[in-house]
Amino acid sequence: MRAARGPVLAAAFLFAAGAAPAAEVPLPERRSGYDFMGPQTRGMQDDDMANPGMLSVLDGAAAWERKTGAAGKACADCHRDARQSMKGVAARYPRFDEATGRPIDLEGRIARCRTERQQAPPLARESRELVALAVYVAHQSRGLPVEDMVEKDARLRPFLEAGRSQFERRQGQLDLSCAQCHNDNWGKSLAGNPVPQGHPTGYPIYRLEWQSVGSLQRRLRNCLIGMRAESYEFGAPEYVDLTLYLMWRARGMKIETPGVRP
Amino acid sequence: MAQTKKPFEGRGWTRRGVLGAGLAAIPAGAALTLIVRPAEATPETMKDAIKKVVGDAEIRKGRVKLDLPPLSENGNSVACAVTVESPMSAADHVKAIHLFNEKNPQPNVISVHLGPRAGKARIDTRIRLSDTQTVTAIAQMSDGSFWSASANVIVTLGACLEDNPT
Amino acid sequence: MTAQALIHVPKKAKRGEVIEIRTMISHVMETGFRRSQSGEPIPRNIIANFACTYNGVEIFRAELFPAMTANPFLIFRTVAVESGTLAFKWTGDNGFAAEQSVKIEVG
């Protein structure tokens, strides 16, 4: 049975191959990955006492208050109460970053405050503390609509287009594009699992498969691996461009952090 | 038949599956958690584990209600509730509830000890199931009797999995 | 970092009422049945025991096995008998120990 899984999965992936170029999901038809989940998993996300992602929110809240680094400062020393200062912030990322002349994502922004403002050793991507801080910050935007950052800042436009072309480009051993699954075949079943539209609104999420919280980049990496395509170092510009495109594609949809996904 | 998978194992199957299909390997830098193949618990080992708890006493069907979803999206987390019919009085109450599985590497899941102060003999929890299988709940009453219920869960395989990134 | 726990107990209850106690604690619950890339077995690291006391008297106890999910989640019940403290204690492999308590007002 196990030996058969690879080929079975590969064959299942091929359902979309050969389809015509994908059209974007019309705005009113967009649905969060939440809508494609079973009642058990939805129930976990709905109830803060049952959502394991909330443990990470608590973790992040503790890290927010903790003084660290040569500056001897906590996030809270500069940003005060996250419930006010961080409200809506996650809905505006990735943003254009003057220092590097390209977009920066929320995790990247937090990691920068860590090194530059707290003067502490860098936090690795996907480390428990960075993910917890990102969950905590993003949670302050739960229920708020994702903003159209590209409309507000034209400097983001070329990076949006780079993200879009990644999304639409066929890649990997299975010669598939993200769009073939997430624009053309959402709602269909892939090896018994519904294919969602691929929106980034719940991130960082608690994924049952991971048995932990993880970032959008980790999730994107899972899809790239599924496509047998090249994946990137966490934090790579390719992921940030893709994130920018996904957030733009989800403009107006509500932030759910911490989402729960199978 | 639904695809099944085993949360007790790592993600090594992705790579092996790809190689098995004659496709190129996943790019370097992908750390894998490989699989240990411990002997699976079997209906036999489950029987032994149950015997350790009940001894030679008879196990009767009934009084226990085991709620499990017939189909689970991910075996890493399956919601599970056990309710036992009992007045939960000093004279007549549930002393313990034990949960067992057939196919994980180990047959025990959880054992809880309670008494009349519980008021109601019910627990809700989340368990790991390595595969489609039968789960059994056994209640131990204050009069020494044992009651049980079983349920079957189909565990589906996630689509885009990963090797462990760290 | 320390383990985070989420506990829900009603703040107020009527004497004799059966109340629901909900607990969830952060823990990997490493099964001991997996190997790392280099082939090393990953040692078991689980919470093995949980207990709840009500004003110092044990009212509920559990033994946990690797088949419990990561971040163990457990709901159980008790009869509200008097105002006071519900204390929770988790212990496990590698000297893991976590404690938390909540107050309840019974009238």
- Determine the Cα–Cα distance for residues A184 and C101; give it in Å rounded to an integer: 51
Please report residues of B whose CB lies closer than 8 A to that of C77: 118-120, 122
DSSP A181-248: IIIISTTSEETTEE------TT-SEEETTTTEEE-HHHHHHHHHHHTT-----TT-HHHHHHHHHHHH
Secondary-structure class of domain A25-48+145-261 per CATH: mainly alpha
pLDDT tens digits, one per residue of B99-144: 999 988 899 999 999 999 999 999 999 999 988 899 999 999 999 9
- Domain ranges for chain A, please list them: 25-48+145-261, 53-139
Do the chains contact at A49 and C25, CB–CB below 8 Å?
Answer: no
Q: What is the residue range of B104's domain? A: 43-155
Domain A53-139 CATH assignment equals 1.10.760.10: yes
Please report residues of A whose CB lies closer than 8 A to that of C6: 48-49, 54-55, 58
- A touches which chains (3+ CB pairs under 8 A)? B, C
| Per-residue pLDDT at B24 | 27
Those residues of chain A whose CB sits closer than 8 Å to some CB in chain B are 1-3, 5-10, 12, 37-38, 40-41, 43-44, 126, 173, 190-193, 195, 208-211, 218, 221-223, 225-226, 228, 230-231, 233-234, 262
Secondary-structure class of domain C5-29+42-106 per CATH: mainly beta
Specify whether the CB–CB gap between A5 and B3 falls below 8 A. yes
Question: How many domains is chain B partitioned into structurally?
Answer: 1
pLDDT tens digits, one per residue of A7-16: 334 434 444 4
- Looking at residue C30, what DSSP letter applies? B
- Determine the Cα–Cα distance for residues A124 and A50; give it in Å rounded to an integer: 28
Residue B14 pLDDT exceeds 70:
no
- Domain membership of residue B102 (yes or no) is yes
Those residues of chain A whose CB sits closer than 8 Å to some CB in chain C are 48-50, 52, 54-56, 58-59, 62-63, 128-129, 211-212
CATH code for the domain of B83: 2.60.40.2470
- Is A178 in the active site? no
Q: Above pLDDT 90, what percent of chain A?
A: 89
Low-confidence ranges of chain C (pLDDT < 50): none
Higher pLDDT, A191 or A102: A102
Work out the burial of residue B114: count CB atoms within 10 Å of its CB; fewer than 13 is exposed, 13-18 middle, 19 or more buried.
buried
This complex has an ipTM of 0.95
- Domain membership of residue B100 (yes or no) is yes
Lowest mean pLDDT among B23-27, B127-131, B148-152: B23-27
- Domain membership of residue B9 (yes or no) is no
Please report residues of C whose CB lies closer than 8 A to that of A48: 6
| Per-residue pLDDT at B157 | 62
Work out the burial of residue C31: count CB atoms within 10 Å of its CB; fewer than 13 is exposed, 13-18 middle, 19 or more buried.
buried
pLDDT tens digits, one per residue of B74-84: 999 999 999 99
Nearest to residue C69, comparing CAs of A48, B109, B156?
B109
Please report residues of C whose CB lies closer than 8 A to that of B122: 76-77
- Domain membership of residue B150 (yes or no) is yes
- Domain membership of residue B69 (yes or no) is yes
- Domain membership of residue B48 (yes or no) is yes
Q: Which two tokens stand for residue C90?
A: 């988790």
pTM: 0.89
- Domain membership of residue B38 (yes or no) is no
- Domain membership of residue B32 (yes or no) is no
pLDDT tens digits, one per residue of A226-246: 999 999 999 999 999 999 999
Return residues 45-74 of B near C (CB < 8 Å). none
pLDDT tens digits, one per residue of B35-71: 334 456 677 888 899 999 999 999 999 999 999 998 8
